[in-house]
Amino acid sequence: IPTKSHRPLIMLRLATARLGAVGTGGRSLSALAGPRDQVHLRGLIFHGHHGVYEEERKLGQKFRIDVTLDTCLADAGKSDDLKDAINYAIIYKTVEGVVTGPPAQLLECVAERIASAILSSQSRVNGVRVEVAKPHVAVGGVVEGLGISIYRPRVAV
């Protein structure tokens, strides 16, 4: 007879086994999640007018953007047809439109706009990581660059 401290673990294992046999059609939970493929666009450089300070918004500066898209590449891999893939040029233009578009004060806002634009226009994208960096920033010290990173999953509505 299991001790009281082991009972929750045993119950969890039993529930997991039942779920695996009944609720998932015999497939593992990781198999139900689908492929974990990604598309990367790295080092996109655009001139934008984002920032808290008037000089940043007036003169503008370079922004470096990295985007990682969670998707399934199986159909494109099998068909070798662009209609089954994510068109990188469209993603590039989407990011460009946000960065060169209306100014925002914060990098966080720029990243949110990029993530929202991609998720709303690309049904094949299950989640998106956006990194926005200012390569040249004045912070009173030597810095290679400063930036932020966000991840936004597609939320079922």
Domain boundaries, the chain: 1-33, 34-153
Residues with Cβ within 8 Å of residue 26, at least 6 apart in sequence = 20
Q: What is the pLDDT of residues 60-98, one digit of tens each?
A: 999 999 999 999 999 999 999 999 999 999 999 999 999
Q: What is the pLDDT of residues 39-56, one digit of tens each?
A: 999 999 999 999 999 999
Note the pTM of the prediction, 2 decimals. 0.77
Residues with Cβ within 8 Å of residue 98, at least 6 apart in sequence = 110, 113, 114, 117
Overall fold of domain 34-153 = GTP Cyclohydrolase I, domain 2 (3.30.1130)
pLDDT at 95: 99
Q: How far apart are CA 135 and CA 65, in angstroms?
A: 10
Q: Which two tokens stand for residue 62?
A: 């370079």
Please list the active-site residues.
Answer: 134
CA-CA distances (angstroms) from residue 138 to 55, 56, 98? Answer: 12, 11, 23
Torsion angle of C-alpha atoms 59, 54, 152, 79, degrees rounded to 10: -10
